[in-house]
């Protein structure tokens, strides 16, 4: 494992995640949006996440502009990053699969949206965000560069922190008690919550 292979794995993940997402994005274009919370804050957060997780790694791979921030590459970090990235890709794919037509890149409720509580959604409410956290940890391990490595963690961390409370408020508004009960029995990004008493 060397610096180039580790960067190659990150680039492969960028390509694979786009391939996973594209069919869902295309299918969803046909479904009417009922309500949208996509405002300036959402647009800025999406832009920052794209910058930190995709654009900076691509610029780093294609140019030597960011090489000034390089530090020594450790093979163990490359291996750990690769395994974490494989887990991230699996969960990213499963969460798209289980969410199906209910997925959207921003905060939206579409026509005939249902509440998904099965598959990887059974015990955690945000498996897709969990997969993106794993991705960002993997990115930090795969890229031995002070700027590009942590860029995903910083950008997505901000997005996660600001978006999740709004997303859960939106889901509560839309699904009421059904979502409140789901919140009781699930965790946010870890697969366990406070389970209700058995009786």
Q: Please select the residue that binds ligand SAH; options are 103, 133, 156, 160, rule is CB under 6 A.
A: 103
Alpha carbon distances (Å) from 59 to 18, 54, 119, 149: 18, 9, 36, 13
Q: Which of 17, 82, 104, 139 lies at the binding interface for ligand SAH (CB under 6 A)? A: 104
Does the protein bind ligand SAH through residue 85 (CB under 6 A)? Answer: no
- Taking the C-alpha atoms of 161, 166, 171 and 174 in order, what is their torsion angle to the nearest 10 degrees? 180
Q: Of these, 11, 54, 61, 109, which contacts ligand SAH (CB under 6 A)?
A: 109
Residues comprising the chain, all counted: 199
Which of 127, 134, 137, 142 is close enough to bind ligand SAH by CB under 6 A?
127
DSSP state of 122: S
Q: What DSSP element (H or E) covers 108?
A: strand 108-110
Please identify, among the stretches 56-64, 126-134, 138-146, 190-198, the one whose residues bind ligand SAH according to the rule CB under 6 A.
126-134
Question: Which phi and psi (to 5°) does residue 103 adopt?
Answer: -70, 150
Q: Which residues bind ligand SAH (CB under 6 A)?
A: 95, 99, 102-104, 107-109, 113, 115-116, 121, 126-129, 167, 171
């Amino acid at each position: 494992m060397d610096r180039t292979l580790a960067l190659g794995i990150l680039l492969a993940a960028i390509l694979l995640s786009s391939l996973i997402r594209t069919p869902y994005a295309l299918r969803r274009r046909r479904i009417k949006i009922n309500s949208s919370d996509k405002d300036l804050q959402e647009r800025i957060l999406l832009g920052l996440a794209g910058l930190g997780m995709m654009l900076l790694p691509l610029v780093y791979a294609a140019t030597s502009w960011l090489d000034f921030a390089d530090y020594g590459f450790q093979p163990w970090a490359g291996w750990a990053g690769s395994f974490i990235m494989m887990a991230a890709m699996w969960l990213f794919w499963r969460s798209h699969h289980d969410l199906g037509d209910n997925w959207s890149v921003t905060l939206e409720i579409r026509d005939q949206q249902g509440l998904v509580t099965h598959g990887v959604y059974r015990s955690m409410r945000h498996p897709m965000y969990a997969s993106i956290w794993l991705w960002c940890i993997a990115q930090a391990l795969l890229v031995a560069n002070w700027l590009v490595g942590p860029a995903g963690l910083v950008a997505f961390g901000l997005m996660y922190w600001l978006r999740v409370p709004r997303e859960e408020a939106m889901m509560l508004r839309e699904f009421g008690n059904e979502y409140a009960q789901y919140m009781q029995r699930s965790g946010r990004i870890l697969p366990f919550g406070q389970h209700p008493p058995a009786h």
